[in-house]
Amino acid sequence: MKVYNGKSVFGGIAIGKISVYNKEQQQIERYHVEDAAAEVERFMRAKETAVNQLKALYDKALAEVGEANAMIFEVHQMMLDDLDYNDSITNMIETQKVNSEYAVGVTADNFAQMFSSMDDDYMKERAADVKDISERLVTVLSGGNGEGNKFSEPVIILADDLAPSETVQLDKDKVLAFVTRQGSSNSHTAILARTMSIPALIGVDVETDGAYNGVKAVVNGFTGEFIIEPDQETEQKMEEKRQEELEKKVLLQQMKGQGNVTLDGQTINLYANIGNVEDVASVLQNDAGGIGLFRSEFLYLESNDYPTEEEQFAKYRQVVETMHGKKVIIRTLDIGADKQVDYFNMDKEENPALGYRAIRICLDRKEIFRTQLRALFRASAFGKLSIMFPMIISVNEVREIKKMVEEVKAELKEQGIAYSDDVELGIMIETPASVMISDMLAKEVDFFSIGTNDLTQYTLAIDRQNPKLDPIYDPHHLAVLRMIKTVVDNAHANGIWAGICGELGADPELTETFLAMGLDELSVSPSLILGLRKAIRSTDVSKVKEEVLAKF
């Protein structure tokens, strides 16, 4: 038994035989051509064939993984028509009188090296795209069909790497999992794997020379382990774990497509909390009604410098487009306290949870905030986007934010940049101050989202990061629950909606309580959506409401 470790791209357990993936690579040779014009024409015909193949891949991906994930094949079509790329190939053919395969191969290496040397992670990913389209061209020029590997039985695919086109071409019914030596968790292939719900590992230092073809293995997408020739005890444990996961999925899949409606007809929205673009696949997979909290600070935490407007816009746009018109609520930058970013150069604080954080930073460093607002409103043109602001303690803060919003919208309008006028603006309710003036705040915004994690620590004066205080940290404390009810009541009295995006929203012991309070929305981790929906659909609020509300 051999155990290799890698990084999990998608969870799950797979047990089966290994199939080493063989790319349709041709040995590229350089040879002289007499008729350069005819060779250029041969290249153009091959390019046309490659474009048609990519169109077919787009249609297949559109049906299987949705429009946003299929877009990569439109991008590849555009890359094939890129003027610089084509000029490099045709100029080489005409001036050096060499064959098309060689010209494509050299151009691919040059462009891939150029992209790989860039600092921007997004641009680095384009190196793999250039290689992918170039390999497709060489395959067509060499007489290949570009259809990839075929499998006679379900297998665990082992490869050096998999291009997006190769992943989409896989017969999902014949793929148990895939394991690659290379790849990135932000690559198109990783995103597709998550969307297709295929257990996958990347960065596994295992031989791919064919020695393991047909050998039994286990992929543990929860721990990142790749176990080759597992012993009987290990295989049995993994099989039991796999069966457990399957049973859970089968049970909860019955909840997909069902309404979030109680037995007595009360409806509540179930949204998902996410930290990055890659999590959207899990949101869709678990049938969430929208995204109730996109933690935009992760764009800053994962970067070595301030994310540019373009970088942020690209991420926000991708999320709203992928959600196909479902609501996406993006929280503006919420750093400070336990989320520190070195390049912000913030002073050390004795009480960071009570210090310079979240909206306080944004209203102090307005250019950072303005950049984010511009990116957000630009993305609003591509879907149903809402914006919420964290750590609010006063009406004046909200009014200052709204003033900046209007300035940003005026700038975009003047510059002819599209944005939506139908963007809800909301605030996080996570301080006792915001609870106590929630009747006044409700007149200024479109919605409230209650951040129960911070609200609990501020209400109880307990640092939630301090393990010594765990025994007395009580999110069920009557004071916390009364505050939640106060916020909901004040929201409804002023015609706006109120939800919860903290961890408390998924607490099964409080589902009845939140329904009785009349909360309009609960936003939780994607994996908890279907279980929470099941609990909602089995609750009769009319039978418990009087008893529950009597506590408050």
Q: Calculate mean pLDDT across residues 4-12.
A: 86
What was the pLDDT predicted at 71? 76
Domain-terminating residue out of 141, 156, 171: 141
Give pLDDT tens digits for 143-171.
766 555 567 788 998 988 877 667 766 77
**Catalytic member of 32, 76, 188, 477:** 188
Is 362 labeled as catalytic in the residue annotation?
A: no
Q: Calculate mean pLDDT across residues 51-78.
A: 79
Could you tell me the CATH number of the domain that includes residue 216?
3.50.30.10
DSSP state of 144: -
Which has more pLDDT, 119 or 423? 423
Q: Are residues 285 and 433 in the same domain?
A: yes
Q: Are residues 212 and 263 in the same domain?
A: no
**Catalytic member of 76, 477, 492, 501:** 501
Could you tell me the CATH number of the domain that includes residue 357?
3.20.20.60
Q: Calculate mean pLDDT across residues 491-516.
A: 93
Q: Going by DSSP bridges, is the β-strand pair 425-429/200-202 parallel, antiparallel, or unpaired?
A: unpaired
Domain-terminating residue out of 74, 109, 141: 141
What was the pLDDT predicted at 86? 93
Give pLDDT tens digits for 476-486.
999 999 999 99
What was the pLDDT predicted at 64? 65
The token duo for 265 is 């007809």
Q: Is residue 346 part of a domain?
A: yes
Q: How confident is the model at residue 254 (pLDDT cuts 50, 70, 90)?
A: confident
Q: Which of 12-21, 104-113, 192-201, 453-462 has the lowest mean pLDDT?
A: 192-201
Q: Are residues 388 and 308 in the same domain?
A: yes
Domain-terminating residue out of 198, 221, 252: 252
Q: Are residues 190 and 227 in the same domain?
A: yes
Q: Are residues 513 and 539 in the same domain?
A: yes
HSE at residue 186, side-chain half, CA atoms within 13 A, is 13
Q: Is residue 182 part of a domain?
A: yes
Give pLDDT tens digits for 266-314.
999 999 998 888 788 778 888 999 999 999 988 887 778 889 999 999 9
What was the pLDDT predicted at 62? 76
What was the pLDDT predicted at 194? 61
Q: Is the pLDDT of residue 46 over 80?
A: yes
Q: How confident is the model at residue 247 (pLDDT cuts 50, 70, 90)?
A: confident
Is 188 labeled as catalytic in the residue annotation?
A: yes
Give the three-class secondary structure for 261: strand
What was the pLDDT predicted at 195? 55
What was the pLDDT predicted at 162? 78
What was the pLDDT predicted at 429? 97
What was the pLDDT predicted at 491? 98
HEC profile of 33-92: CCCHHHHHHHHHHHHHHHHHHHHHHHHHHHHHHCHHHHHHHHHHHHHHCCHHHHHHHHHH
Q: Are residues 81 and 97 in the same domain?
A: yes
Give pLDDT tens digits for 200-244.
898 899 988 878 888 999 999 889 999 999 999 999 999 998 888
Q: Give backbone dihedrals phi and psi of 332, rounded to 5 degrees, phi first.
A: -70, 170
Q: How confident is the model at residue 517 (pLDDT cuts 50, 70, 90)?
A: very high
Q: How confident is the model at residue 407 (pLDDT cuts 50, 70, 90)?
A: very high
The token duo for 230 is 């597992």
Q: Is residue 202 part of a domain?
A: yes
Q: How confident is the model at residue 121 (pLDDT cuts 50, 70, 90)?
A: low
Dihedral angle, C-alpha 204, 208, 214, 218, nearest 10 °? 0
DSSP state of 32: B
Q: What percent of the chain has pLDDT over 90?
A: 50
Bind-site residues for Mg(2+)? 430, 454
Q: Going by DSSP bridges, is the β-strand pair 447-450/155-159 parallel, antiparallel, or unpaired?
A: unpaired
Q: Calculate mean pLDDT across residues 367-382.
A: 96
What's the whole-number average pLDDT of the chain? 87
Which has more pLDDT, 508 or 210? 508
Give pLDDT tens digits for 20-36.
887 655 678 899 999 99
Q: Is residue 30 part of a domain?
A: no
Contacts of 481 (CB under 8 A, 6+ apart): 510, 513, 551, 552
Bind-site residues for phosphoenolpyruvate? 295, 331, 453-454, 464
Q: How confident is the model at residue 470 (pLDDT cuts 50, 70, 90)?
A: confident
Q: Are residues 389 and 530 in the same domain?
A: yes
Which has more pLDDT, 163 or 412? 412
Helical H segments across 437-540, by residue range = 438-441, 452-460, 478-493, 511-517, 529-537
The token duo for 319 is 């999320």
Which has more pLDDT, 190 or 507? 507
Smallest CA-to-CA distance from 290 within 300, 299, 280 is with 280
What was the pLDDT predicted at 329? 97
Q: Are residues 504 and 372 in the same domain?
A: yes
Token look-up 């064939």 returns 49
Give the three-class secondary structure for 291: strand
Which has more pLDDT, 414 or 62? 414
- Cβ proximity of 497 and 245 under 8 Å: no
Compute the distance between CA of residue 99 and CA of residue 104 in angstroms, rounded to an integer: 9
Q: Is residue 330 part of a domain?
A: yes
Contacts of 197 (CB under 8 A, 6+ apart): 10, 12, 285
Q: Is residue 26 part of a domain?
A: no
Other C-beta atoms lying within 10 Å of the C-beta of residue 83: 7
Q: Are residues 361 and 409 in the same domain?
A: yes
The number of folded domains in the chain is 3
The residue segments making up the domain with residue 134 are: 36-141
Q: Are residues 291 and 214 in the same domain?
A: no
Q: How confident is the model at residue 390 (pLDDT cuts 50, 70, 90)?
A: very high
Q: Is the pLDDT of residue 504 over 60?
A: yes
Q: Are residues 128 and 202 in the same domain?
A: no
Q: Which of 170-184, 199-213, 502-516 has the lowest mean pLDDT?
A: 170-184
Could you tell me the CATH number of the domain that includes residue 121?
1.10.274.10
Token look-up 């150069």 returns 345
Bind-site residues? 295, 331, 430, 453-454, 464
Q: Are residues 134 and 173 in the same domain?
A: no
